Amino acid sequence: MSIIDRLQRQHLKALTPYASARREAQRGSCWLNANESPFAPSVEGAETQLNRYPDFQSLTLNQQFADYCGVQPQQLLSCRGADEGIDLLLRAFCEPGIDRIVITSPTYGMYQIAAQSYAVEVVDVPLQGPQWQPDCDAVIAAAKSAKLVFLCQPSNPLGAAIEAEVLEHLIRECDNTMVVVDEAYFEFSDQQSATNWLQKYPNLVVLRTLSKAFALAGARCGFVVGSAELIGLLSKILAPYPLPVSSLRQAQQVTAPAAITAMQQRVSLLLQQRQRLQQWFSQQPGFALLSASETNFLLVAHRQSATIQQYLAERGIVVRNQSKQPGLPACLRFTVGSADENTQLLAALAAYQNSDQCMGEVQ
């Protein structure tokens, strides 16, 4: 019996997925099977054929992203952002009020929120500073009674990456649990993708997204990558038409080979700006970088973090306060912006440091 067959919610074995009209038949020229209007609406700036349902899964999009990840299309499911991937995994494996998941705080908040919305217990095994690595023994022990382990690689909100040997050790040793590696920020990191281990570890699941490096946050397109058996299970419970036509077309465009090259060039520019910001913060009194970032943001501690956030907001600069996260008192998260945006940020921070407001709090 495979790990997917053993861990899935048992009632799903007998579930026959909803057979949408588009899922049953994807080719044709005279569409009379989906109760659609034959008339395309006149909507300014809209796509043509908005009167037709989109495909359940875009063969073009899935093939292009599978090629990018080095996997087969049947190992990949496109969905409404990585957040829907989290939701699907919980629905597929966790019985409400019975099962549990493992997280390693501080981490992405949706793992816990999604679990709590399904009455699934959350076991938190905090990361260990100052390198922010998992407590392997504790994670492995907790995983013995859990269905899912969520590992953010690299971390949101920390920006730190799990060392490759540590990550593989956890995947290998948690062999009776599905290990979900969230690679939303993968393109900004020097780490290899966990997709390289999919053939070795049937309990491995990887989440990816077009929201960050691909600059397509508004289209809400993400991917679950795993075994073909896992994708078959998740396909049972995925909505009949998960992505709208406009999102599918935009996603197809940004995952084409030429567009991937352009994405990598943009990432290179952002990495230069990340280095610029890291250097500035490392030289300023009162600011402390929590870790070297392998993402498109920096997590910075300052005892006046709340005041700084308000000072920046009054000048139209919006940053994220992460002080409510476990183990992150007085921390702000700064997204790496364009060169002009970063210049604006640094000028405002320098002005704050020289302001009476700053001096008053220091005294």
List the CATH number of the domain containing 295.
3.90.1150.10
Burial class (CB in 10 A: 0-12, 13-18, 19+), 38: exposed
Q: Average of pLDDT values for 134-142?
A: 98
Q: Residue 18's pLDDT is what? A: 77
User: Would you say how long the chain is, in residues?
Assistant: 363
**Interval 58-67: pLDDT, tens:** 999 999 999 9
Segments forming the whole domain that contains residue 330: 259-362
Alpha-carbon distance 99 to 165, whole Å?
28
Q: Average of pLDDT values for 88-114?
A: 97
CATH at 61: 3.40.640.10
Same domain, 47 and 185: yes
pLDDT above 70: residue 359: no
Q: Residue 363's pLDDT is what? A: 40
Same domain, 222 and 283: no
pLDDT above 80: residue 228: yes
Same domain, 299 and 166: no
Q: Which two tokens stand for residue 347?
A: 């000028």
Q: Average of pLDDT values for 72-87?
A: 98
Q: Average of pLDDT values for 9-26?
A: 82
Report the mean per-residue pLDDT for the chain.
92
Alpha-carbon distance 70 to 196, whole Å?
8
Last residue of a domain, one of 255, 284, 302: 255
**Interval 25-52: pLDDT, tens:** 767 776 666 667 666 666 666 566 788 8
Q: Residue 47's pLDDT is what? A: 60
Give how far the C-alpha of residue 225 lies from the chain's centroid of Cα atoms, to the nearest Å.
12
Same domain, 29 and 146: yes
**Interval 310-324: pLDDT, tens:** 999 999 999 999 999
Same domain, 248 and 311: no
Same domain, 303 and 170: no
Q: For 78, phi and psi rounded to 5 degrees? A: -90, 140
How would you classify residue 316: left for phi > 0, otherwise alpha for psi between -120 and 50, otherwise beta? left
Alpha-carbon distance 37 to 17, whole Å?
25
Q: Average of pLDDT values for 190-204?
A: 97
Instruction: State percent of the chain over pLDDT 70.
Output: 93
Helix crossing, 257-282 with 339-353: angle to 10°? 10
pTM over 0.95: no
**Interval 247-300: pLDDT, tens:** 999 999 999 999 999 999 999 999 999 999 999 999 999 999 999 999 999 999
Q: Which two tokens stand for residue 31?
A: 């569409």
- Cα-only R_g, the chain: 22
Decide: 317 and 251 in contact? Cβ < 8 Å: no
Same domain, 49 and 179: yes
Last residue of a domain, one of 255, 287, 310: 255
pLDDT above 90: residue 358: no
Same domain, 103 and 199: yes
Q: Average of pLDDT values for 183-209?
A: 97
Decide: 64 and 210 in contact? Cβ < 8 Å: no
Decide: 235 and 77 in contact? Cβ < 8 Å: yes
Count the domains in the chain: 2
Q: Nearest-CA neighbor of 210 among 79, 337, 45, 113?
A: 79
Same domain, 158 and 217: yes
Q: Average of pLDDT values for 216-235?
A: 97
Same domain, 170 and 235: yes
Last residue of a domain, one of 255, 272, 287: 255
